[in-house]
A = this chain, B = another copy of it.
């Protein structure tokens, strides 16, 4: 059996999987605002508890940030004190002879979908995770793309529109306009600039889900903002298609969610921009595993025998 752990910014999900992909048991632990070593202890507790029952042969962990393979340390921006946290060393101390593998959440998402989701059996497939931010988990030739310092897949920084705007500086062009946070910001700015607007988006603390809700009711600012997102998601998908020639692009994260219904429009936009032969070979689909993609991916990761993992 495999132990999979999906560490998020607010909780730890853990699950024991059979090798054929069945979840045998699952448990959640809340971080309750913990940071630093206290989060490390919560992970090692989850590991120790699962190992106590016996039968675990490998451990896979998804982390909300970057897994540095040379050092076994983690950068996780939403966990205090996790700039370079020695998670691998800590978990190995508990796991002893049982092998431990750690990858970024976005890499685990595509592993999960390739193992048990909408990219099953695909060697070339990409998970586009659109939540508060935007990232991509990339399988190419059956292997995860890491990059020289394990920070590949930072697609939120993709340049998609000229000229450069100051608003792109903090998180990149694509993310500043088409992430959950970006959607809320762009909509709030449009409301502030439009004297004649008196619709539902004129409120404090606007969130992306408000914009999707208003889009469903034909609010004109929501239509403008979401139409721009469809264009940007389509262009980003097109760029992935032209560069990677994948057979699947999986849309997931909190925004997909409500944006899943837009995938046919995104595909239509992508088809205008992408290399046409590659476009004809790819399917754009929603995540099949939803919030469980990280857990499934961590389990797949742990089965080192899988050809999806280097």
- Say yes or no: A278 contacts B242, CB within 8 Å: no
B-chain residues with CB within 8 Å of residue A155 when the two chains form the complex = 242-243
B124, B145, B231: the one contacting A244 at CB < 8 Å is B145
Does A153 touch B at the CB level, under 8 Å? yes
Contacts A161-B161, A273-B173: A245 and B150 contacting too (C-beta < 8 A)?
yes
Pick the contact of A172: B149, B150, B162, B275 (CB < 8 A): B275
Contact A242 B157 (CB under 8 A): yes
CB of B141 within 8 A of CB of A243, answer no
Query: In the complex, are the beta carbons of B145 and A141 less than 8 A apart?
Result: yes
Rounded to whole angstroms, the CA-CA distance of A44 and B162 in the bound complex is 48
Which of B138, B148, B160 sits near A281, CB closer than 8 Å? B148
Residues of B within 8 A of A147 (CB): 124, 140, 244-246, 278
Interface presence of A136 (CB below 8 A)? yes
Contact of A161 among B148, B156, B162 (CB under 8 A): B162
**Inter-subunit contact A244/B152 (CB<8 Å):** yes
Give the shortest distance, in Å, between A122 (CB) and chain B (any CB): 8
A164 to B164: give the CA distance in the assembly, Å.
Answer: 18
Judging by beta carbons under 8 Å apart, are B159 and A235 in contact? Answer: yes
Is A284 interfacial (CB-CB < 8 Å)? Answer: no
- Check A154 for interface membership: any CB of B closer than 8 A: yes
Contacts of A124 in B (CB 8 A): 147-148, 152
The residues of B that contact A145 with a CB separation of less than 8 Å are: 140-141, 243-244
* 28 contacts across the A-B interface (CB closer than 8 A): A138-B243, A140-B140, A140-B152, A141-B310, A145-B244, A146-B245, A147-B244, A147-B246, A147-B278, A148-B246, A148-B281, A149-B277, A149-B281, A151-B245, A151-B277, A151-B278, A152-B243, A152-B278, A154-B242, A155-B242, A156-B275, A157-B273, A158-B239, A158-B243, A159-B273, A168-B272, A239-B239, A243-B243
- Given A124-B152, A155-B243, A161-B162, 15 further pairs, Cβ under 8 A: A122-B148, A141-B310, A145-B244, A147-B245, A148-B246, A148-B247, A151-B278, A152-B245, A157-B238, A158-B242, A158-B243, A162-B235, A163-B231, A172-B275, A243-B243
**A interface residues, Cβ below 8 angstroms from B:** 122-124, 136, 138, 140-141, 143, 145-164, 168, 172-173, 231, 235-236, 238-239, 242-247, 272-275, 277-278, 281, 310
